[in-house]
Amino acid sequence: MAHILIVDDETMARTGFRKILARAGYVTEEAADGEEALRILRRERVDLCVLDIIMPNKDGIEVLRELRETDNNLPVLAISGGGHADLGLYLRMAKKLGVSATLAKPFGADELLETVEGLLAKA
């Protein structure tokens, strides 16, 4: 089954995403920030990255820029929300940097699974 890296600074969000994806049979790994995500991506092969855009330390845009320098093929699902006023701007920026899909928080389990399954089918 596919190996998915979940990157989000919110513990509850990461845990929720992990449970949804694990119930669907996916192997998951979690990172609490961009720095940790990049360390994992350097040492392990993953099939998909679910990447929060707004995070402390190294945000999702920075992670995406670094990731695309070395791997332009990894499917990335950019997620963002939390009532941030510039949510649309961040997700549009992520699209310009090559994410495969975006979801605005909050979103449901069905929407997450449908998007993940679609991205993995294209990979």
Residue pair 94/53 in contact by the 8 Å Cβ criterion: yes
What is the DSSP secondary structure assignment for residue 55, as one 8-state letter?
-
**72 vs 46, more confident:** 46
> Which pLDDT score, from 0 to 100, does residue 123 have?
80
Q: Which CATH superfamily is domain 3-122 in?
A: Response regulator (3.40.50.2300)
pTM of the complete model beyond 0.75: yes
Residue pLDDT, tens place only, 3-55: 999 999 999 999 999 999 999 999 999 999 999 999 999 999 999 999 999 89
Q: How far apart are CA 54 and CA 85, in angstroms?
A: 12
